[in-house]
Structure 1
Amino acid sequence: MWLKMKKIIKSAIFSFLFKKENRIKGEARYQRILHNHIRKCAGTSINKALIKSIGGNKNTYEELAKHRLHKMNLQLGSCVGWNSIAINKGSFFFAFSHEPLHSLTLDDSTFTFCFLREPVERVISHYNMLKDLINDDKTHPALSEEKKFAFGDFDHFLDNIPREHLEAQLFNFSASYNVDEAIYKMRSCINYVGDIKDPGKELLPFLSSEFGLNIDYQHLRSSKSKFEPSSDQYARLKSMVSEETNFRTKAEKYFGLNFKTRKQGD
């Protein structure tokens, strides 16, 4: 009862604290940038590059993670991470979150982008990340939240991982894991979707031009753990993510910029 009351109070306070922010007065095609960051889709490097481009430094990402409100005012505007209330209020210039897109409320003045990854490769990367955390950072919240499948071997991981983590890309767009619904949501709400291997081809030049940013992108993170599944484990995993694979295959033809979104009232 008390925990529920704390959440209600926190939500009420946050709603009061966060007000919509526009980077410029008057009409503008886009007022802010949101990275709909699907886990293990190489997003942290992009986040750090964009944070730096609006006035942050090499330490800002870590400072933002420790900040109580996960919001910081930088030279060109405010930056928000992991705070869905602030994001839903439009209270940022640049924001990123692991919250699935279907749970967020966005408007048409928010340029929203995400990256997709080959599903089997993404799940193996998730497993390697958890092993890195076990070895290097046992206090990381992911280990507490994902303890039911974080510890143990790869078979234990596959036995216990919830579908929202297993097929996180599909779940990001559809809470019911419906491929057609996911494609529609992506086309309605995402202004850019692309492969993680080439973020600089179209997205970064557009953001630099549209928002007047100097973006110095470098891929920064790589797992120390290098687990490779056996042929049987690979086949099992491939079968488990078959619906997400179908989604990603259909999504590929829409890779690139999309200015015909219908976020409001969707």
Structure 2
Amino acid sequence: MITIFTIPKPFTDPHINIIQTNAIKSWVKLGVDVVLVGDDDGVDERAREFGVKHIPNVLCNEFGTPLLNSALSLVRKKFNNEYLVYVNADIILLKNFLDIFKYLNNLDQFLVVGQRYMLEIKNELEFNDDWEEEIKKDLQKNGFLNQARSALDYFVFRNKSFKNMPAFAVGRVCWDNWMIYESRRRQIHTIEVRDIITPIHQKHDTVAGINDSKNRAVNPEAQNNLKLAGGAKHIFNLDDTSHILDKDGLREKKTSWKQLEKYIQETPEILKYKNFWVIFSFGYRIFKFVVKKFLPRRFLCCPDYEIAKKFKRIYFCHIRKVGGTSLNHSFLALCGDNKKIYSRLVNSKKHYIKCGNKIFAGWSKELIEEGKYFYAFSHIPVHKLNLPPQTFIIGIIRNPIERVLSHYKMLLHFKEKKINHECMKVEGGWLGDSFSDFLDRVPRKDLLNQLYMFSENFNIDEAIINIKKCSHVFFTENYNEGIKKLSGKLKLDLKPFNERRAQNYFKPKKEDLIKLEKLLEPEIIFYNQVKEIFN
């Protein structure tokens, strides 16, 4: 399924021998296919020693430097694995590197890149059972995260990707930056991974005149790589990636002004003028002021709602699989056909619509914190939100075991019926081949989502304090009764709906239920305490 390949340097230098040995042995520990490409001294012997594959006869340039496109082509001919990972031969990978692949199953094409940690290692590592814990301690004490945004050491992509790669010289500048540029040009997911993996770059001396800043401008191989990349305008870095993958999952980045300027380098000359963006920004601010000052207020401002005498807006803290979509439809139905209005909200550019005299907002942190709406909802944890005063906050809580089972059934239903739901891009990869696989793959913040929504650190006491700030909390198990009481509090005619019920007949095994209950133990305690408070 996964092939890691590299083009090592000759193993003749004692320190290079040590760090390349450490790196390759760490990859072998991952249980994936490992391939050494090239004909330099010691490559064939080390491949046999480590029990990994060796591919010789890679094409080189006139200086004897291997060409990356040749190496990639050779690997493709030998291996049909779905994922290819190019890693520089001095990078140690820990088992958490494999965590990224559960987010990639439903992406047709992608490029995954990221920063690396720096650590000086002078000796060969002992790859015993505790080696990862030992190197993490050493890293915490003596290492650091390299803040460079242009130096890249690992690349994850599908086997079918980058078939048009130019003949870059490996180990020289620019080709890694071209990879990001090419991914963005083709409009595929270009993902910067943070926090969840620990790639470690072992410090070593660089060869003078190759990539050092003083000689880079005149080095013929560096200059040729720059030319093959299409010039300096194609030198993209981590700031130019389209998505972020971290402990909160995979999400799209916002484009900065600086990035936008880079992306339009080939547009009319006025947009390249160095002061254009300063002038544009100033003009835009004047335009906003004029619009706010002179346009009729009804076009710009949210009506001044009065809800239950003391509230100005309603916000629903929408935990996954507790009946939240049904609650959203109950509020939307106050203005007519709930399904049509929901479709409008989903398809609107900012998820912000007006129906009659009511404004609805969904999912947008900026709009929710701004507070200009009648009703809003999102999956954003309360500890990441700064809600305005006089907001009526709703929470729905569900039996933790039933909630996780419902989530699994929903994903299974989407997979079986081939429903192309947005959540399947990430969550489809959690399914695996069984419910037990799902429990192993689902991130903790999603498994314990009810607890996480009210405490970033899964602290039960903190979560109880935060949920007490809700104006109304009720339970999925008594949903209709909860809606009735909510209607009374808000003086609104809310009708109960039942949306998104997965149609399948999945029944978990007894041992999986035991496993699930153990994993959910802190959330079960939280749930029982909430029941005591709000019942």
Q: TM-score, normalised by structure 1?
A: 0.84
1:183 corresponding residue in structure 2: 464
1:137, distance to aligned residue in structure 2 (A): 4.8
Letter in 2 for 1:181: E
Q: Distance in 2 between matches of 1:243 and 1:154?
A: 20
- How far off is 1:169 after superposition? 0.2
CA deviations 1:27-69 (Å, max 9, x no partner) are 9401111111100001111110111114453321122112111
2-side partners of 1:22 and 1:42: how far apart?
A: 28
Give the conservation status (yes or no) of the 8 Å contact 2:411–2:428: no
Please point out which of 403, 406, 422 is paired with 1:122: 403
Matches of 1:71 and 1:30, distance apart in 2: 20
Q: How does 1:96-175 map to 2 (within 5 A)?
A: 96-175=377-456
Q: Which residue number corresponds to residue 523 of structure 2?
A: 244
What aligned pairs does 1:3-82 form with structure 2 within 5 A after superposition?
A: 3=242, 6-8=254-256, 21-24=302-305, 28-82=309-363
Q: Is the 8 A contact 2:305 2:374 kept in 1?
A: no
8 Å Cα contact 1:56-1:74 kept in structure 2: no
Higher helix share: 1
CA RMSD of aligned residues (A): 2.7
CA distance 1:217–1:90, change in 2 (3 Å): same
> Which structure 1 segments of 5+ residues have no match?
257-266
The worse-fitting range, judged by mean Cα deviation, of 19-28 and 30-39 is 19-28
Q: Give the CA deviation at 1:206.
A: 4.0
Report the CA distance shift for 1:197/1:25 in structure 2 as closer, same or farther (over 3 A): closer
Distance 2:334 2:429 in 1: 38
Unaligned residue ranges in structure 2 (runs of 5+) = 1-238, 244-252, 258-280, 293-299
SS at match of 1:173: coil
- Local SS of the residue matching 1:197: helix
Which secondary structure state, in structure 2, belongs to the residue aligned with residue 78 of structure 1? strand
1:192 maps to which of 446, 468, 472: 472
Write the distance in 2 (CA, Å) between the matches of 1:98 and 1:26. Answer: 23
- Name the counterpart of 2:375: 94
Secondary structure in structure 2 of the residue aligned to 1:86: helix
Shift of 1:6: 3.3
Distance 1:147 1:222, change over 3 A: closer
Higher Rg of the two aligned structures: 2
Q: Residue type of the partner of 1:228?
A: K
Equivalence for 1:213: 492
Go from structure 1 to structure 2 and tell me whether the alpha carbon gap of 1:20 and 1:149 turns closer, same or farther (over 3 Å shift): farther
Query: Does the 8 Å contact 1:20/1:90 carry over to 2?
Result: no
| Percent pairwise identity | 28
Query: Any runs of at least 4 consecutive aligned residues in structure 1 with deviations exceeding 6 A, and if so which?
Result: none
Q: Is the 1:113–1:191 Cα contact (8 Å) retained in structure 2?
A: yes
TM-score, normalisation: structure 2: 0.43
